Amino acid sequence: MNSKNSVGFSMASIPTTQLDEIHEASLAILRETGINVHCPELRALLREAGARVQDDLRTFIPPSLVDRALASAPSRIDIYNRKGEPAMMLEGTRIYFGTGSDLEYTIDPSTGRRRESTLKDVEQSARLCEKLANIDFVMSYGLPRGLPAGRCEIEQFRAMLNNTSKPIIMTEYSGRKTFEEMHRLACDRSGGETDFRRQPNYIMYGQFVSPLQHDAGALERLVFCADHGIPLIYVPTIMMGASGPVTLAGALALANAECLAGLVMHQLRVPGAPFIYGGCVTPLDMRTTVFSYGAPEWRMADMVLSQLSQRYRLAIFGTAGTTDAKVIDAQAGAEWAYSLLACTLAGTNLIHDVGYMESGLTGSPEALLICDEIIGMVKRFISGFEINEDTLALDLIHRVGPAGHFMEEEHTLDHFRESTWHPCLFDRKRFDEWEQNGKDLRQRCRERAAELLKT
């Protein structure tokens, strides 16, 4: 037996014909319904390229402009850490995990109580993520209260720059001057504008107003990113039944149309500028008016958008490791685990919001550690296993035979480490040994977080 093969695992995909239907529906929305473009400069670019502009706002984009944008956008985007080392290669189904941004509340690790987030939480989250092996990029985590207008994003960014070397995904909502100052900080840390363009170490996350409203602030970010070579995530947030159709098919067609519209404007501004596709699509729970972060429909949407991104040859931004639970409990664990597995199997390049609680309002250090552990398990699951003469071990099985054991075999010593995933926090002790400590997972995570933050 000389064959060597590796077995991996992937999610079942929806048929190509159904992807075609979503794509064609999105083109129809852009061509026949149109979008509001709140930027005269970009409207002029669109008109010159062949789009139709009505009432100096509503813009109708022909399919030819979508094709042109898809042809010019890069299929691979390389992101570096602040040491100048390659950290994330965004292409195909390469997968990276990171936190989310701007949480209003934090479950205090010392008291266990929910409180408003502070700048210290941003600092501590970045320091914690720096030491978590399965966290690849960092977002701001908390939305600090009490900072002067226009300073919040800058201080968040500075806190992350000072506490982690990992790539950052940043938000900005205060205007161009704030963005310019943040970008100067990033360039100063990377040796200047030219070096940043060659080795970008942060990504800008940009949202706009659904449905079909590309507001002035979002487009200002889009233009600045295109002009300065800053990788841009430009995605809609569709609340099914509110800012989009209640049906998943309709919500996906709308989300895809909105993202493609952003791509067209971005590539018209600077052909070849780095653009990251995606979308946040989930139901608005009609009983509670909560935008559900634990809904299975969000995971289904991520799967479809990932397949579309692979069709378009664009990097994609998705969401997982999230829960609607208010505390660390069985619901939180279930929603964190299944969302991380589903989004990973879909091949989503950037998986953010890891450790989110309370439908995107609250975070906690313990949640980050639990999700880091789950990601380790998920990575082991998708890594698969090798089938070859050595791993099939037929000679060994024959030699040990009936009623034997494999504990003392050299083959076991050679392979047990890479063949089995070993948890750091999840418990595998025997009951009597566990009973002596008597610590549940949350308590173990709290102690581990404190230990990591001290060093």
β pairing state of 315-319 and 350-352: parallel
Q: What CATH number does residue 311 fall under?
A: 3.20.20.480
Domain count, the chain: 2
Give the per-residue pLDDT at 1.
36
pLDDT digits (tens, 9 = 90+) for 397-446: 999 999 999 999 999 999 999 899 999 999 999 999 888 877 889 999 99
pLDDT of 455? 75
Nearest to 34 by CA among 308, 279, 268, 261: 261
Range of the domain at 423: 395-454
Cβ atoms within 10 A of the Cβ of 343, count? 26
224 contact partners, CB below 8 Å, separation of at least 6: 176, 179, 180, 183, 230
- Is residue 345 included in any domain, yes or no? yes
Q: Which parts of 270-364 fold into alpha helices (H)?
A: 296-312, 330-345
360, 382, 404: which is the final residue of a domain?
Answer: 382
Same domain, 251 and 177: yes
For Cα atoms 372, 374, 380, give the angle at the middle one, nearest 5 degrees: 105
Residue 334 lies in a domain: yes
pLDDT in tens, 68-112: 999 999 999 999 999 999 999 999 999 999 999 999 999 998 898
If asked whether residues 82 and 204 sit together in one domain, one would say: yes
Residues of the chain with pLDDT under 50: 1-4
In a shared domain, residues 411 and 378:
no
In angstroms, what CA-CA distances link 1 with 32, 334, 389, 394?
A: 60, 42, 6, 10
- ω before 365 within 30° of 0 (cis)? no
Query: For residue 268, is it within any domain?
Result: yes
Residue 201: predicted pLDDT: 96
Which of residues 382, 412, 443 is at a domain's end?
A: 382
For residues 118 and 147, membership in a common domain is answered with yes
Does 53 map to a domain?
no
- Distance separating alpha carbons of residues 375 and 355, to the nearest angstrom: 11
* CB proximity list for 447: less than 8 A, separation 6 or greater: 439
Strand order in the sheet with 350-352: 96-97, 350-352, 315-319, 275-278, 232-235, 202-207, 168-170
Q: What share of the chain is helix, strand, coil (3-state, %, to 5)?
A: 45, 20, 35
Integer Cα distance of 307 and 314 in angstroms: 10
Co-location of 273 and 373 in the same domain: yes
**What's residue 9's pLDDT?**
64
Query: Same domain for 118 and 205?
Result: yes
Q: Are residues 170 and 224 in the same domain?
A: yes
Do 441 and 341 have their domain in common? no
pLDDT score for 5: 62
Tell me the residue type at 94: R
Nearest 5°: the CA angle 275, 342, 423 is 110
Question: Partners of 318 in the beta sheet?
Answer: 351
**Hey, which residues does 116 pair with through a beta bridge?**
105
| Contact yes or no for 160/127 (Cβ under 8 A) | no
Are 347 and 433 found together in one domain?
A: no
- Are both 288 and 437 inside the same structural domain? no
- CA-CA distance, 447 to 287, in Å (whole number)? 38
Using alpha carbons, select from 313, 206, 238, 261 the residue that is nearest to residue 46: 261
Q: Do 418 and 351 belong together in one domain? A: no
- Residue 14 is predicted with a pLDDT of 86
3-state secondary structure of 117: coil
| CA gap 130, 165 in Å, rounded | 7
* 417 lies in the same domain as 374: no
Under 8 Å between Cβ of 210 and 258: yes
